A and B are shown apart, each in its own frame.
Chain A
Amino acid sequence: MDILFGLCGKGFVILAGDTTVAHSIVKMKNDEDKIKTLGPHLAMAYSGEPGDTIQFAEYIERNLRLDQIRNVHERRPEASASWIRSSLASSLRSRRPYSVNILVGGFDISSAAIVEGQEELGGTPKLYWLDYLGTKVEVPFGAHGYGSYFALSLLDRYHDPNASVEEAMGTLKRCIDEVSKRLVVSPSKYKAKIIDKDGVRDIEIPV
């Protein structure tokens, strides 16, 4: 099962996921990017049933793109996450539900999201934890898969909402290292993306 992490810092949010695609006991692929960019300031990390994940992620990606073409204003992270949630929730009671778990990371650049005294940040980082049932929660940090059993307690201890990028990457590294140390079937490689006022981009995980 795949592992996803997400955490907010001061003016940014980081998403990370492992890069393994496995069928049964066999590793099929070692460089899969499980994080999709959904908009100028929006990305999502997804895991779950292979096939469902890609199908659902592309459906979300294309529909949010369409929304972007139709509307002048960028859709805010809360609104995007809510739409993803309702897609999952209606899928749950359909003939064949998608089984996909998601972390949505976004950076809210709307004027309402600019915090007084912190105008230089250009908005507010947002992270949403969604599971295949359509459960949606806004969290300061979140995790999916077996990684969550190790990472959440670490993040309880080390997460700082005012952390710099370097500090947040250090915390992320702690989580990854803990999983490598304690999980029997731990993945070898991770990819991470950062979302801030400048948009979505890849970020190197420190060794």
Chain B
Amino acid sequence: MSIMQYNGGSVIAMKGKECVAIASDLRLGNQALTISCNHEKIFPVSDRVYYGLAGLATDVDTMRQRLRYRVNMYTIKEEREIEPETFARLTSSALYEHRFGPMFVEPVIAGLSKTPSGGVEPFIAAADLIGCLNFAKDFVVAGTASDKLYGVAEGLWEPDLEADDLFETISQTLLNAVDRDAYSGWGAIVHVITKDKVITRKLRGRMD
């Protein structure tokens, strides 16, 4: 039993047309025993950057606190909101600091970056537990159902989805993947980030 599977849980992010979506399940367990069915793994950085952490729950909490501190320091020094790519680099360096005694979390980042013309560009990234970044052009996954998420997402995702279609695609991908994973599930939460609002919905999957 890997330490990455001790608490269970999965996260996924997908790109759409001028929007991104990020979603996670809600289970927290102690190996096979479910402790909580309302454990969110996705956190906001700003109105247009969200990130999720899959892995060991204690390190998820610790990383979240450390990232919040670093983002706050960045915001104070720069006097502006952090860009999603900058946040990804920051997450990566925070993880790599513990290269030889890592934090057991895999981050998934989703956001909208500003383009020079004043528009927005969807951005997603994921990293492994020591901060090796993966900038994907379609979707990124992490957690105990990652292989299932890859399979379903590869079959359902297509480029340039509008916000409501992207919501449906990420929801179906997550629900069907976690239904085949004993360590993930018990409902899900989905955030769709568009240029003028963030739509957050809780999903009830099969609650077993």
Partner-B contacts on A (CB < 8 A): 85-86, 88-89, 92-93, 129, 131, 133-137, 139, 142, 148-149, 152
Whether the pair B30, A131 counts as a contact (CB closer than 8 A) is yes
Instruction: From B32-40, B119-127, B128-136, B155-163, give the one contacting chain A.
Output: B32-40
Q: A143's closest neighbor in chain B, by CB?
A: B35
- Residue from the list A135, A142, A152 in contact with B58, Cβ < 8 A: A135
CA distance A152 to B35 in the complex (A): 8
Asked if residues A137 and B28 are in contact (CB atoms below 8 Å), the reply is yes
- CB-CB under 8 A from A137, the residues of chain B are 28, 35-36, 39, 57
A101 to chain B, nearest CB (A): 10
CA distance A85 to B65 in the complex (A): 12
Q: Mark B36-48, 1 if CB is under 8 A from A, else 0.
A: 1001000000000
Return B1 CB to nearest CB of chain A, in Å: 14
Please give me the 9 A-B residue pairs with the lowest Cβ-Cβ distance, nearest first.
A134-B58, A135-B57, A133-B58, A137-B36, A135-B58, A89-B58, A89-B62, A139-B36, A137-B28
The CA-CA distance from A137 to B7 in the complex, in Å, is: 12
The proximity string for B residues 52-89 relative to A, scoring 1 for CB distances below 8 Å and 0 otherwise, is: 00001110011001000000000000000000000000
The answer for the CA separation of A134 and B101 in the assembled complex, in Å, is 17
4 further interface pairs, Cβ-Cβ under 8 Å (given A137-B39, A152-B33): A93-B101, A134-B62, A136-B57, A149-B33
Q: How many A-B residue pairs have CB under 8 A?
A: 43
**16 contacts across the A-B interface (CB closer than 8 A):** A86-B62, A88-B58, A89-B61, A92-B58, A93-B101, A129-B36, A131-B30, A135-B28, A135-B57, A135-B58, A136-B58, A136-B61, A137-B28, A137-B57, A139-B36, A152-B35
B33 contacts A134, C-beta separation under 8 Å: no
Known: A139-B36, A152-B33. A85 touches B101 (CB 8 A): no
Question: B138-175, CB under 8 A of A: which get 1 and which 0?
Answer: 00000000000000000000000000000000000000
A111 to B56, CA, bound (A): 34
In the complex, what's the smallest C-beta–C-beta distance from A50 to chain B, in angstroms? 21
The residue from B6, B28, B30, B61 contacting A134, defined by CB atoms under 8 A apart: B61
Nearest Cβ distance between residue B64 and chain A, in whole angstroms? 11
What are the residues of chain B within 8 A of A93 when measuring CB–CB?
A: 101
Contact in complex: B61, A139 (CB < 8 Å): no
- Known contacts A85-B61, A92-B58; is-contact A135 B33 (Cβ 8 Å): no
